[in-house]
Amino acid sequence: MLELLSPAGDYECLEAAVNFGCNAVYIGGKSYGMRAAAKNFDFDEMKKAVNYAHSHEVKVYLTCNTLPSNDEIEAFPEYIKNAAEIGIDAVIVADMGIMSMIKQYAPKLDIHMSTQVGIVNYAAANELYRLGAKRIVLSRETGIDEIRRIREKIPDDMEIEAFVHGAMCVSFSGRCLLSAYMTGRNANKGECAQPCRWKYSLMEETRPGQYFPVYENDEGSYILNARDMCMIEHMDKLIDAGVTSFKIEGRAKSAYYVATVTNAYASALEYAKAGKPLPQWIKDEVFAVSHREYCTGFYFGRYDPEQVYESSGYVRSRDFVGVIDKCDNGEVFLTQRNYFSVSDDLEVLIPKEKPVKFNIKHLYNSDGEEITVANRATEKLRAVCGREFPENSILRRVSEQK
């Protein structure tokens, strides 16, 4: 069975991923995960998340893919036993010591070997299978032809997971010391400060204090900045190569990002499985969230099309402005998230459907007063629009950014 795997940095993101069509989510606890900046889950929140996901037939994978110190490794047995009791389905692992402890203290948990391991060949995959891994998460540097060769030479019941969308790294599969060296924040412990996104200048050693910009344009040059990956138009090729789980990057992203990208790839996966061409609206959806310029990574050979030197900024074509709580007889009850007005070009994102226009005839605030501008975040609003939408659908404004 093919699987769409979505990120969940907190409970709101998990709900968004589940509601918009994923088959599994990956989350982090308060320790051992590669996204220390995300809110993550304590054990009570983790239990709630697992119960919610399982009630919708969605699996939950726990990230334990940092490279822990001796002190950290001593606390791991109790940590993983608690996670297993909660009902986690699998653990994403990068360290062989962590792998051995899972087998000892939580032997019923499936083990997925993280992209941090750097798996790019079938020999490594087969050895990890022998040691007890059920799945390999391939290094982002692995091309489609290499994936096909790996698939042909590993056991049929070993799963292959590959990234299809999200941030790339200038280092090999995130193995980077730059952040730790420059800021003291260790990327291999989930604390990356992303210095590859910064703007740099040069200084000649006989002229201390004189900084010379590396010009690409008037804004300077971002010499290490990578594009974002987007494989929305190539899901059929990945299926043909033998990928079984399609992973979206983004545990530090918002619930809106998770919902939109999950919806796009869930839809794309259905079209790819059916052998049908991808509709334009699905292609457009990946531009509705904040992103850097897109590329296809290393899947088709040399990194395409290399770095982005002009800027490390994000662009998007839509702004998230609200969540629909319920509908009743042509009235929509929603929670506002950002500013919008009744005259804006608005649309609703519905799970696994093409976005539809949202035409407001009348808008009322929480005091029952008719308004034309909604400018108080989290306020409960009532809109008369003449039609109804599923709960948890997303209201957004068409943005001028492209």
* Sequential DSSP letters for 352-394: TS--EE---SEEE-TTS-EESEE-STT-EEEEE-SS---TT-E
Per-residue pLDDT tens digits of the chain, which is 402 residues long? 899 999 999 999 999 999 999 999 999 998 776 655 557 899 999 999 999 999 999 999 999 988 888 988 999 999 999 999 999 999 999 999 999 999 999 999 999 999 999 999 999 999 999 999 999 999 998 999 999 999 999 999 999 999 999 988 776 666 667 777 678 777 666 677 777 767 777 777 787 887 766 655 555 566 667 788 999 999 999 999 999 999 999 999 999 999 999 999 999 999 999 999 999 999 999 999 988 889 998 899 765 445 554 555 677 889 999 999 999 988 999 999 999 999 999 999 998 889 999 999 999 999 999 999 999 888 999 999 988 899 999 999 998 654
Residue 269: φ, ψ to 5°: -65, -40
Q: Which one-letter DSSP state was computed for residue 276? A: P
Residue 10 CB partners (closer than 8 Å, separation 6+): 38, 39, 40, 41, 255
Q: Please give the domain boundaries of the chain with CATH numbers for all domains.
A: 3-173+225-295 (3.20.20.70), 318-398 (2.40.30.10)
The reported pTM is: 0.86
Phi/psi zone of residue 192: left (φ > 0), alpha (ψ -120 to 50 degrees), beta?
A: beta
